[in-house]
Amino acid sequence: MRATAIAQPNIALIKYWGKRDLELNLPAVGSISITLRDLFTEMQLELDEHLPADKLTVNGSVDETMLPRLSTCLDHVVGGGRVRASIVSRCNFPVAAGLASSASAFAATTVAAAHAAGKPLGVKALANLAGRSSGSAARSLYGGFAELENSDKKIIVSTLCESEQWPLTVVIAITETGPKAVGSTEAMEISRSTSPFYANWIDRQDNDLKTARNAILKRDFEQLAAIAEHNCLKMHSVMWASRPPIVNWNSATMRCLQTVRKLQGNGVGVFFTIDAGPQVKAICLPEHAHEVRAALAATEGVIDIMESGLGDGARLVEVS
């Protein structure tokens, strides 16, 4: 009745923004991501019939904010009439700040819950269950480069390339540590219903997916860099043009983009992406990681730097 699982966040290179089914939490577009190695969320879950209610601690402190969504995640995996759970979470990076903390949290919770409930589910079923709680969590069930496709009432996630087949490095420039003002589910709905660019965004996604997929299969860094930056800026254009506007960037975010442009001008193999938060993720060839890290660390407004290679999908650590 007790299981512990670990999952890594993933960074989308071709982004998910918008839902086509709110009830089932199905994304409106496919996406392609890389799963990280060095950032993690561990979820220890104990199903306990004596507990009056679910409880959650994050890094040693009781936390009420994530609990309702985690409880719903457990309902999906274990079943509605389930016994209550005690969840102990450990995480080595800031949560709810645009670092994909919900992806790793729900991926790890789904794996731990299935094992704690004695349900031997395969990775496809686990990805679909994790995706019901958080669209991006489905991708954290897979390592390396993962593609998520919509298929009727389901999602299908597959590995395009394993982490060791194309070992890139991700340098993350932290420009703010507080939680974001508007959650992704709400922000996506605002974009869907108000952004004049939303329909265009949906129409063009398949082309971007195809270009990125080809770049990954050919290990073509330049082509991947160009399409990932374009897709990221397009998603933020959809967000900026929403009413009210959804602007997660700060001035340091912009300065980090200028730093990346300068590095590119000097022949450094690097590109940027930004999610629903102010942090800048610089994806680079491992031999350039030191230079990219130093340049971002020296950029005004950057308060911390994290670095990660690419890693594996969510997995069980212990069950008893």
Instruction: Summarize as ranges the residues that interact with ligand 2P0 (CB under 6 A).
Output: 12, 15-17, 25, 31, 102-103, 134-136, 184-185, 275-276
CB of 28 to ligand 2P0, least distance (A): 11
d(Cα 39, Cα 245) in Å, to the nearest integer? 30
Task: Provide the edge-to-edge strand list for the sheet that holds 41-47.
Answer: 61-62, 55-58, 85-91, 41-47, 2-7, 315-319
Q: From the DSSP assignment, how many helices (H) and strands (E) are in the chain?
A: 8, 16
CB of 233 to ligand 2P0, least distance (A): 12
Taking the least distance from each CB to ligand 2P0, the nearer of 58 and 276 is: 276
Taking the least distance from each CB to ligand 2P0, the nearer of 9 and 269 is: 9
Taking the least distance from each CB to ligand 2P0, the nearer of 15 and 293 is: 15
Question: Is residue 199 within 8 Å of 241, Cβ to Cβ?
Answer: no
Q: Residue 43's beta-bridge partner residues?
A: 5, 89
Q: Which two tokens stand for residue 271?
A: 């590109």
Taking the least distance from each CB to ligand 2P0, the nearer of 47 and 195 is: 195
Taking the least distance from each CB to ligand 2P0, the nearer of 238 and 263 is: 238
CB of 130 to ligand 2P0, least distance (A): 10
| CB burial of residue 69 (10 Å; 0-12, 13-18, 19+) | middle
CB of 234 to ligand 2P0, least distance (A): 11
CB of 294 to ligand 2P0, least distance (A): 27
